[in-house]
Amino acid sequence: MITSIKTTRVTQSRLETVDFNNLGFGSVFSDHMFQVDYVNGFWSEPEIVPYGPFSIAPGALCLHYGQSVFEGLKAYMGVDGLPRIFRPDRNASRLQNSCKRLCIPAFDESLFLMALDHLVQLDANWIPKERGKALYFRPLIIGLEANLTVKPSDNYRFYIMSSPVREYFSKSNPTISLKAEHSFTRAAPGGMGHAKTAGNYAASLLPGIRSLSEGHDQVLWLDGVNHEYVEEVGQMNIFFQIGNKVITPELRGTILPGVTRDSVLELLRRRGIVCEERRVSIQEIVDAAYAGSLVEAFGAGTAAVIAPVGNIDVNGQQIEINNSAPGPLASSLYNEILDIQTGVSDDVFNWNRMVSL
């Protein structure tokens, strides 16, 4: 087991160049990154180095056949001045599952967690202190072998970079608008929908741009067979409150098993709210809206945390939800999760990984 990581610090930090009052999402990167290579059947000695570009061969398999997997998770600065990484064990496990689907060798999960700890300690001053902002980590594994044969790579690089970020959606709009996508497909049964891999996001770009051009914020993906059942939103899982129940699409291999999704389900069940993980058709949502039983809808994901949905365009029908205002359930979940992430309230689920400075 690896017990230490070779570290090369930056000679001069770029921290003073960052405007923390006007952060974007993932456009500024902190001083250090972690990296480790897989060569000759083994992961080599890991290291932390200054953030910067590195060279890869033009024939690298990741460039041609999309053999890459990634994750997204956040570190928050607690009100007690101690950093907290939110549920990194779940991200490590999900990354392993993505690796299996794309024929990428397994990595040491304890090293993954150790690398995050070291990066937080080195770049703790990059963690925003304003509520809702965080230091976002992007672990990524890519196939590096130069070979144009369609096959898994023999060589890989695993690296983790970080970026101080605001929440994904602008607070200028209290809710988001979705367009139910009836033509394009994100994932099909037997495909890679459950894996966090670049190809899934590449497939979403054109529908996403079209949705934005029509005045919506995200695509609401439907199943890849009949475009009948709701699956997920562009970068989030989706929840609906119908009557006194909360419903979210079940994991059937075509939906990313979100860490925030799981957190929301645990919090709701702790409150005693009935939660159903099942198939839900877009027609059921339309019918519930017209019947007056569709109380709220919201997305849940690492980048956005909780994003209330105010409108869904279903084949031109505008389904307004809660008068296009955030509902009490979404608002309370947002605050409850942030309170746990920042140490305002007790971490009863032991979700936070505390990092000593």
Alpha-carbon gap, residue 266 to 336, rounded angstroms: 12
β-strand partners of 237: 300
Helix (H, G, I), strand (E, B) or coil at 323: helix
Distance, CA of 350 to CA of 338 (rounded, Å): 14
pLDDT less than 70: residues of the chain = 1, 170
* pLDDT the model gives residue 349: 97
- Paired with 74 in beta bridges are 136
- Chain position carrying tokens 């990524």: 140
- The whole-angstrom separation of Cα 261 and Cα 302 is 9
Q: What is the pLDDT of residue 235?
A: 83
Q: Which CATH superfamily is domain 176-341 in?
A: D-amino Acid Aminotransferase, subunit A, domain 2 (3.20.10.10)
The CA-atom distances, in angstroms, between 196 and each of 152, 192, 242, 304 are 17, 8, 29, 17
pLDDT score at 164: 98
Q: How far apart are CA 9 and CA 7, in angstroms?
A: 6
Quick one: pLDDT at residue 1? 63
CA atoms of 201 and 107, how far apart (whole Å): 23
Pick the CATH number of 6-165 from 3.30.470.10, 3.40.640.10, 2.20.28.120, 1.20.1070.10: 3.30.470.10
In sequence order, what E strands does 121-236 have? 134-143, 156-165, 176-181, 218-222, 230-233
Per-residue confidence (pLDDT) for residue 4, from 0 to 100? 84
CB 318 within 8 A of CB 310: no
Q: What is the three-class DSSP state of 269? A: helix
Of 19, 54, 13, the closest CA to residue 32 belongs to 13
pLDDT for res 222: 97
What was the pLDDT predicted at 19?
Answer: 96
Q: Taking a C-beta distance cutoff of 8 angstroms, is the pair 271, 241 a contact?
A: no
The answer to whether the 6-165 and 176-341 domains have the same CATH topology is no
Q: Which of 247, 237, 319 is nearest to 280 (CA)?
A: 247
Instruction: Give pTM, 2 decimals.
Output: 0.95
The confidence score (pLDDT) of residue 168 equals 86
Boundaries of every domain in the chain:
6-165, 176-341
